[in-house]
Amino acid sequence: MIRLQKYMALCGVSSRRAAEKMIAEGRVSVNGDVVTEMGTKVDEYADEVRVDGEVITPEAEKHYLAYNKPVGEVTTVSDPEGRATVMDRFEGYPVRLFPVGRLDYDSDGLLLLTNDGELMNRLLHPSREIDKAYLAKVSNNLTEEDLVRLARGVIVNGKMTSPAKVRLIRRDTFSTTILVTIHEGRNRQVRKMVEAVGHQVVSLRRVGFGPILLGDLPSGCWRRLTDEEVRKLKAL
């Protein structure tokens, strides 16, 4: 017997956290009875579980992809405003995929997608403190003091950010390019950190998620992760 939300994750429906929301909304039934309690357990071999009326079963084959998200795509399965989503790129893919976390509409770069809900849940849990690396082009010239402040932590929405790794990449006449590595997942965090030291992010690209690097993957294209990359993700 396993918890219902874990079973849903194994079926590739969603992460466990998102599964809990579906259960609370009354969208899940077990053997014909709607379930809304989080402690419910199911027999994965005997019970029939439905989400929105459709039977779900564990997916035997797991898929792990790296995608270079362009600016102008929303990192959601659907968008009420009718904007393009990352899932539009995978309409013909043989299994249902889910993005691992989010990447801002006006940011580009590395986004992982998978149907392995259990791994997705672990990767997104705050206790894992998984590094995400961003290449940020910032308005005007950042001083050494600005770089130190970003690394030590700044106040964002009334709360101090955790220490970050900040490396100067290039200084131009009217901009500075830095590599910022953080493990927190606050909304638009890098942009707000830069604003806290008096500058604006001109462009932001995620170039790393844990051991996975964006590399030279073209914008709008995706690739399957290697077996070694998947092993590294699972070992985090």
d(CA 190, CA 35): 39
d(CA 49, CA 33): 9
Q: Which of 9, 140, 20 is nearest to 62 (CA)?
A: 9
Q: Cα angle at 21 between 20 and 23, to 5 degrees? A: 65
Q: Which of 73, 123, 133 is nearest to 101 (CA)?
A: 123
d(CA 62, CA 74): 24
Distances (CA, A) of 192 to 56, 178, 199, 202: 40, 15, 9, 12
Catalytic residues: 104
213 beta partners: 208
